[in-house]
Structure 1
Amino acid sequence: MFGTQRERDPVGGPFYKERGWISAALFLGFFLVMSLVAFVSDPKGVDLAETSREILTGLDGPLSPGDPQGVRGGPGGRPEDCATDDGDGTPPSAAPEDVEWRKLVAIMVPVSPSAGPLHTDATMWWCFAHTPTGAALAAHIIPVQLSGVSWRLVAQQQVVPGAPRDTFVAGKAESGTAVSEDSAVGRFVGFSVASYSGDLATVRLLVTDPMGGYLSTSVSVRWRDGDWKVALRDDGSLYSSVERQATTEGFTLWGA
């Protein structure tokens, strides 16, 4: 998901330096990663929306059972088999007590039986609580899934549609980049819900930096169709530019 960057690119600098796809590959890899963005290109003569539609409608096989695209007959327009405790809108000061760690693509990610994802199908993990904690978990998990072999389904179902998604999908398809299960990666350390309105959240992610200290970046998610979906940046990027963090101050630690 978050890709590596050449050493000449400084942390905190512009998150695009070269034409073409900079993989949305795991920035927690053991190579210093500087840019966590998708695809930047000259769109002249290219209908990105049409390209995106062709890619996303060309999925192989049916959607996952109980997929979010299916009938939403539950409370709040959620799928009938997706029910979470959505009562608390307060940003968390601690990780969920029931947090567990599971491998997804090439990295261990936090999951919670109470905050999500409640469904961890072979192709997609979904159904997050409509809470700041649910938003934080979605911000960790959905981008990781966009590095796996089922990224087209994830982009279709778990990314907010629009021009940024068209750019992301077209660039991802062109690159053909996917993170291997054998990739060497670091780990998530903590998070911070920078903003939360109920329908939109921005989550800061904290990961280990192999050069010492930590790296942080931000992901935005939007509540849509009964679940959290990634809201890409205007240029199709998943993440903000990366910043170095000397300490974990200001972050809620996962404790693992």
Structure 2
Amino acid sequence: MDGPFYKEQGWINAALFLGFIVVMSLMAFVNDTMGSDSAKGTDSAADSRETLAGLGGPLSPGDPQQVRQGPGGRPENCRTDDRDTARPTAAPTEVRWQKLVAIMVPTSPSAGPLRTEATMWWCFAHTPTGAVLAAHIIPVELSGAAWRMVAEQQVVPGEPRDAFVTIKARADETNPEESAIGRFVGFSLASYSGDSATVRLLVTNPTGGYLSTSVSVRWREGDWKVALRHDGSLYSSVKRTADPDGFVMWGG
């Protein structure tokens, strides 16, 4: 993440980008404090485990809870059509927009999420389109009230997750409904290997033009999970752009 960018403009873009004032403020805070917290890695991991302790049984496989696997290594009650391995060059024709936390997100009856419980949306296709949808949805879930369960189940475990959980647990809560502004309008698949992907997201900028950033996901234990950046942040640096060149537009 670009430190100077966030020192000068991070708080402005935090309010603009998808209204994720909780998540984006956390990103800036992580960026400013990781230097002092890096020497406390053990404490951070312990705090993370304590924060996640006592959660209910998992809806999808995750750490440190027991993995529940069905046939083919997929979670129980999760079956997707994984035959379409082509990178999307157009928005899925079957896309449906649903409200999650305070944001309208794209979903697909074939690529996922096929399970939309109250606390967590999961079960994405093991395809490029499934990765794209997971990159939109999981970060939004992390701005909601059930973020602890989402962090446990849908974020790749490790030091970055420990940092994210620890600092988010200490941050002041903000109501996403009061700060939602931007909306998803496009995406591009920066990379895809079958087991990992980086997805670029394009959202409207209320002051004009667009804002873009990227999210990485990894196929782990039968579903896509967010792979946080080394400092515990969800997104790469937010960039402003005047046009959507290079992005697949969602339309509608």
TM range (shorter): 0.7 to 0.9
> Which of the residues 159, 162, 181 maps onto 1:166?
162
* Structure 1 residue aligned with 2:233: 237
% identical aligned pairs: 68
Which of 26, 37, 62 pairs up with 2:27? 37
Q: Structure 1 residues 156, 24: CA separation in 2 closer, same or farther (over 3 Å shift)?
A: farther
In the TM superposition, 1:6-21 aligns within 5 A as 14=4, 16-17=6-7
| Aligned-partner Cα distance in 1 for 2:20–2:68 | 42
Q: What is the TM-score normalised by the length of structure 1? A: 0.84
| 1:219 Cα deviation from its structure 2 partner | 0.2
Structure 1 position 82, deviation (Å): 0.6
Match of 2:149 among 137, 150, 153: 153
1:16, CA displacement in angstroms?
4.2
Aligned with 1:71 (options 68, 73, 83): 68
Q: Aligned pair in 2 of structure 1 residues 129, 230: CA closer, same or farther (>3 Å)?
A: same
3-state SS of paired residue (1:144): helix
Among 161, 179, 182, the residue aligned to 1:183: 179
- Map Cα deviations across residues 173-194 of structure 1 (whole Å, 9 max, x no partner): 0104344334332210000001
Distance 1:140 1:14 in 2: 26
**Structure 1 residue 255 and structure 2 residue 251: aligned?**
yes
The count of corresponding residues between Structure 1 and Structure 2 is 238
Q: Which runs of 5+ in 2 are unaligned?
A: none
Contact 1:24 1:238 in 2 (8 A): no
TM-score (norm 2): 0.86
Contact 1:204 1:218 in 2 (8 A): yes
Q: Residue 178 and residue 74 in structure 1: after superposition, are their counterparts in 2 closer, same or farther (change >3 A)?
A: farther
CA distance in 2, matches of 1:25, 1:178: 11
Structure 1 position 78, deviation (Å): 0.5
Q: Are positions 1:27 and 2:17 aligned together?
A: yes
Provide the C-alpha distance between the structure 1 equivalents of 2:159 and 2:57, rounded to a whole number of angstroms: 23
Higher helix fraction (1 or 2): 2
Distance 2:26 2:13 in 1: 7
Q: Provide the rounded CA distance (Å) in 1 between the counterparts of 2:17 and 2:200.
A: 13
Deviation by residue 1:211-235 (Cα, 9 ceiling, x = unmatched): 1110100000000000000000000
The answer on whether the counterparts of 1:118 and 1:126 sit within 8 Å (CA) in structure 2 is yes
Q: Which moved more, 1:155-164 or 1:38-47?
A: 38-47
Deviation at 1:63, TM superposition (A): 3.3
Change beyond 3 A, Cα 1:99–1:200: same
User: How is 1:77-116 mapped onto 2 (pairs within 5 angstroms)?
Assistant: 77-116=73-112
Task: Tell me which moved more, 78-87 or 37-46.
Answer: 37-46
Partner secondary structure for residue 190 of structure 1: strand
